[in-house]
Chains A and B, each alone.
Chain A
Amino acid sequence: MAIVTEYYLLLSAAVFCIGVYGILTRRNALVFLMSVELMLNAANINLVAFSFHHGNLTGQVFSLFTMAIAAAEVAVGIGIILVLYRNFQDVDVTKAATMRW
């Protein structure tokens, strides 16, 4: 039997909230990145769930693209974290606070 769409949405909301919580509370850049991935994937779950609900494949195809873009984003993100580490000998995001006015 098929699972009801609402459960998927609840799961997605939960994953998203975990991601937001991670971003707001953690200082480690790697954890930041992971949290962002969580939020992205929560959106993916939503896309797939609605696609399934409407019997339309567009959402699922879309989520494939999102994953590809997430991969690229992670690559860039890790690059930034590497540079951050090289400059501050740390991956604490609150240390790099000079890029402002």
Chain B
Amino acid sequence: MAGAFDFVPAIAALPLLAFVISLFFGQYMPKRGAEAGIIATAGSLFLSIWTALTVAGITGSATSYNENLYTWVVGQDAGAVTLHLGVLVDPLAALMLVIVSLIALLVHVFSLGYMNDEGETGLPRYYAGLGLFTASMLAFVFSNNLLMAFMFFEMVGLCSYLLIGFWFRDDGPPSAAKKAFLVTRFGDYFFLIGVVGVFATFGTGLFAPIGGSEMASFPQLAEQALNDGAGAAGVDTFGYDAQTWFTILGLLVLGGVVGKSAQFPLHTWLPDAMEGPTPVSALIHAATMVAAGVYLVARMYGFYLLSPTALAVIALVGGFTALFAATMGVVKQELKQVLAYSTISQYGYMMLALGTGGYVAAVFHLTTHAVFKALLFLGAGSVIIAMHHNENMWDMGGLKEKMPVTYWTFLSGSLALAGIVPFAGFWSKDEVLFEALIHGFGTSGALGTVYLLAYAMGLLAVFFTGFYTFRMVYLTFHGDARSETARDPEPVRWNVKGPLAVLGIGAATVGLINMKPVAVLTGAEIDFLHKWVHGPDEGGWPAALSTDLVHYEELLHDAANVSASYPVGGEQTTLLVSAALSLGLAVGGVLFARSLYNAADPVEHTDKLGGAKTLLMHNYYQDEYQVWLAQGVTVPIARAADKFDQGVVDGVVNGVSSVSLFTGSRMRRIQSGVVTNYAALMTLSLVLLLLAFVVVGGGV
């Protein structure tokens, strides 16, 4: 009987079909192609849930799936690389499939309200883009090797470009689209080198082994190389020490992650990407595509765990980005800009968690963030519809009474983002910080210090998160209406409210899947996500894939020398202190925002920041410095290279041709057209030749 795993490729194939249908037949459909997308993503969601249930063992015994389905390059010689397209379904992939297809479905429905009801043109192109994006992202999630992941990673980037630039007739969107494309491509350049490096080193790009030890995965081979020497594992480390080389490879792949997940210093594209339609922002730049980077790290976590240096870099980049982006979110005036910076900041937390060995925490935050950030963006979209596409928060105010559904769901998302108990963000962010704290104290040497530093930055960012989130809520929904449109907002329909309601409930409850503090305190076995990633106790399927939590924890302890210790008393006390600290800071931020902005007619307080305001308003001059890098450094170098190319390389070629042209123009004068002259020349030449033979001797 065909099981769920036989239909996994269809999860991605359905939206791909929707892409084709929307593109070619969209204009003949009443909703301009939305139907195809909604049906396809609903199908994907159904298949994803079925897959997840199969992995969980609810429909039978727990199982997993990892097969090569299609071989597109066959390596003939010994040691040649064979390239496959394949499917890997383990708890992580199954969870992500459900998240992506759920958000995609809701965004398609929301688009009916945001795009169709607003009378936008070019909708078939829009829905085609959404379909292709969903297909690529889902295929990326179930990729079983690094190259396939890379290909769909790029497809996702392409769709992002197409959708950001959807309103290509305006000035902003095409420029933002180009920026997003170029910045992420810069990161992907390193990723590509990393992929080639992994294939050259290990001869395989598999994330998880197929059929036990028959086809080993590259994290496995790397582990073996570290334990038994590179030769024993059949790994070529190009003259480097194995550990050093794996660090280099890991950091190269990390380049793509930093670009796609908008981490410092390649985060600059994401705020600009808000030029795209809001549902696109929700789907791509908050909930799913940006998650691709973090997901990739989680996917090949067994490889990163072998390199403490790479882990330290991930933790530091994550912690720094979390704080850095949060401070910029504080001064923004546009609704979507605040959300954009909060997105960057929240992905910083996930990187922080991965870097500090909090695998479950990262996956957990990925899940909760997908729900509450999609919610916040869709809520923002609803506000934008109501405000006739004016996004400035200083023109809003008082929308609470006019749009109650949007307000309450947005509030649910904001509480989750700020990390207020018991909303989703609290549980996940608290776990991220807790893991960073205990691993920071338990690890000796520089790595522990880095962890504590990253933890401190992450903790500080909690305050800013609470502050900017509620500054946004108060400015948008509370106080008096500050403009004509805010006094009489345009009503939104069911297709906007429906997705908001689903996600609003989700943002309030999705944290309940892993209430670790409660689980530790009461001893109740309610950390479901932990169990889900952990798998059955007897080993079984996750051990066969070596992507299970047990294996990762062993590696974390043995290879990266990271261990946990509890600075304040035992586990329970530390947990309570950590939770109280982050909750206290979050509430502090919220109250501070309340004191400043919860007024009938709030005023700007940003001027009190003095010079810092200018710095923050200009995003720490990150754009300026990157533009300077491009214009002040790259352009002169390119110009010099161009000069060399034009002058020397082309000069030689052109010189040869002009010399022959010149001699040709002179030589052709002996062609008089008179036959007698030719005959004379021939005779003369023959005579000369004969004379030469006589002189030289002819016998040579």
Interface residues of A (CB under 8 A from B): 20, 23-24, 27, 32, 93-94, 96-101
Residues in A with CB closer than 8 Å to B676 are 23-24, 27, 93-94
**Which residue on A lies nearest to B687, using beta carbons?**
A20
Partner of B673, one of A20, A24, A99: A99
Interface hits, B665-696 → A, CB 8 Å = 668, 671-676, 679-680, 683
Contact A100 B675 (CB under 8 A): no
A98/B673 contact (C-beta < 8 A), A20-B683, A24-B680 known: yes
In whole Å, how far is A64's beta carbon from the nearest beta carbon of chain B? Answer: 26
Contact B683 A94 (CB under 8 A): no
Contact A100 B672 (CB under 8 A): yes
What's the Cα separation between A32 and B671 when bound, in Å?
19
Name the residue in B668, B671, B674, B683 with the highest tally of chain A Cβ atoms < 10 Å from its Cβ: B674
Residues in B with CB closer than 8 Å to A93 are 674-676
What's the Cα separation between A97 and B677 when bound, in Å?
11
Contact A24 B668 (CB under 8 A): no
What's the Cα separation between A20 and B686 when bound, in Å?
12
Residues in B with CB closer than 8 Å to A94 are 674-676
Residues in B with CB closer than 8 Å to A32 are 675
What's the Cα separation between A24 and B673 when bound, in Å?
15
Contact A24 B679 (CB under 8 A): yes
5 tightest A-B CB contacts, nearest first: A97-B673, A100-B673, A93-B675, A23-B679, A100-B671
**Which residue on B lies nearest to A36, using beta carbons?**
B679
Residues in B with CB closer than 8 Å to A99 are 673
Interface residues of B (CB under 8 A from A): 668, 671-676, 679-680, 683
Residues in B with CB closer than 8 Å to A20 are 683
Given contacts A23-B683, A99-B673, 9 further A-B contacts (CB under 8 A): A23-B679, A24-B676, A32-B675, A93-B674, A93-B675, A96-B675, A97-B673, A100-B672, A100-B673
A-B contacts, 29 of them at CB < 8 A, read A20-B683, A23-B676, A23-B679, A23-B683, A24-B676, A24-B679, A24-B680, A24-B683, A27-B676, A32-B675, A93-B674, A93-B675, A93-B676, A94-B674, A94-B675, A94-B676, A96-B673, A96-B675, A97-B672, A97-B673, A97-B674, A98-B673, A99-B673, A100-B668, A100-B671, A100-B672, A100-B673, A101-B668, A101-B671
Residues in A with CB closer than 8 Å to B672 are 97, 100
Name the residue in B668, B671, B679 with the highest tally of chain A Cβ atoms < 10 Å from its Cβ: B679
Residues in B with CB closer than 8 Å to A27 are 676
Residues in B with CB closer than 8 Å to A100 are 668, 671-673
**Which residue on A lies nearest to B686, using beta carbons?**
A20
In whole Å, how far is B597's beta carbon from the nearest beta carbon of chain A? Answer: 86
Name the residue in B668, B675, B680, B683 with the highest tally of chain A Cβ atoms < 10 Å from its Cβ: B675
Residues in A with CB closer than 8 Å to B671 are 100-101
**Which residue on B lies nearest to A27, using beta carbons?**
B676
What's the Cα separation between A19 and B549 when bound, in Å?
101
What's the Cα separation between A101 and B666 when bound, in Å?
12
What's the Cα separation between A98 and B673 when bound, in Å?
6
What's the Cα separation between A96 and B675 when bound, in Å?
9
In whole Å, how far is B660's beta carbon from the nearest beta carbon of chain A? Answer: 15
In whole Å, how far is A99's beta carbon from the nearest beta carbon of chain B? Answer: 6
What's the Cα separation between A24 and B679 when bound, in Å?
7
**Which residue on B lies nearest to A93, using beta carbons?**
B675
**Which residue on B lies nearest to A25, using beta carbons?**
B676
Residues in B with CB closer than 8 Å to A23 are 676, 679, 683
Residues in A with CB closer than 8 Å to B675 are 32, 93-94, 96
Residues in A with CB closer than 8 Å to B673 are 96-100
What's the Cα separation between A27 and B679 when bound, in Å?
12
What's the Cα separation between A24 and B674 when bound, in Å?
11
In whole Å, how far is B672's beta carbon from the nearest beta carbon of chain A? Answer: 7
What's the Cα separation between A28 and B679 when bound, in Å?
14
**Which residue on B lies nearest to A97, using beta carbons?**
B673
In whole Å, how far is A97's beta carbon from the nearest beta carbon of chain B? Answer: 4
In whole Å, how far is B468's beta carbon from the nearest beta carbon of chain A? Answer: 79
In whole Å, how far is B662's beta carbon from the nearest beta carbon of chain A? Answer: 15
Residues in A with CB closer than 8 Å to B683 are 20, 23-24
**Which residue on B lies nearest to A21, using beta carbons?**
B683
**Which residue on B lies nearest to A23, using beta carbons?**
B679
**Which residue on B lies nearest to A26, using beta carbons?**
B676
**Which residue on B lies nearest to A100, using beta carbons?**
B673
What's the Cα separation between A93 and B677 when bound, in Å?
11
In whole Å, how far is B671's beta carbon from the nearest beta carbon of chain A? Answer: 5
What's the Cα separation between A56 and B562 when bound, in Å?
100
In whole Å, how far is B162's beta carbon from the nearest beta carbon of chain A? Answer: 55
In whole Å, how far is A13's beta carbon from the nearest beta carbon of chain B? Answer: 13
Residues in A with CB closer than 8 Å to B674 are 93-94, 97
What's the Cα separation between A94 and B675 when bound, in Å?
7
Residues in A with CB closer than 8 Å to B668 are 100-101
**Which residue on B lies nearest to A94, using beta carbons?**
B674
In whole Å, how far is A93's beta carbon from the nearest beta carbon of chain B? Answer: 5
What's the Cα separation between A94 and B683 when bound, in Å?
18
Residues in B with CB closer than 8 Å to A97 are 672-674
Name the residue in A24, A32, A96 with the highest tally of chain B Cβ atoms < 10 Å from its Cβ: A24
**Which residue on A lies nearest to B668, using beta carbons?**
A101
In whole Å, how far is B381's beta carbon from the nearest beta carbon of chain A? Answer: 73
In whole Å, how far is B669's beta carbon from the nearest beta carbon of chain A? Answer: 9
Residues in A with CB closer than 8 Å to B680 are 24
In whole Å, how far is B409's beta carbon from the nearest beta carbon of chain A? Answer: 84
What's the Cα separation between A73 and B671 when bound, in Å?
24
What's the Cα separation between A96 and B678 when bound, in Å?
13
What's the Cα separation between A20 and B687 when bound, in Å?
12
Residues in B with CB closer than 8 Å to A96 are 673, 675
Residues in B with CB closer than 8 Å to A101 are 668, 671
Residues in A with CB closer than 8 Å to B679 are 23-24
What's the Cα separation between A100 and B674 when bound, in Å?
9
In whole Å, how far is A24's beta carbon from the nearest beta carbon of chain B? Answer: 6
**Which residue on B lies nearest to A101, using beta carbons?**
B668
What's the Cα separation between A40 and B680 when bound, in Å?
17
What's the Cα separation between A101 and B683 when bound, in Å?
22
Residues in B with CB closer than 8 Å to A98 are 673
In whole Å, how far is A67's beta carbon from the nearest beta carbon of chain B? Answer: 23
What's the Cα separation between A23 and B668 when bound, in Å?
23
What's the Cα separation between A66 and B680 when bound, in Å?
24
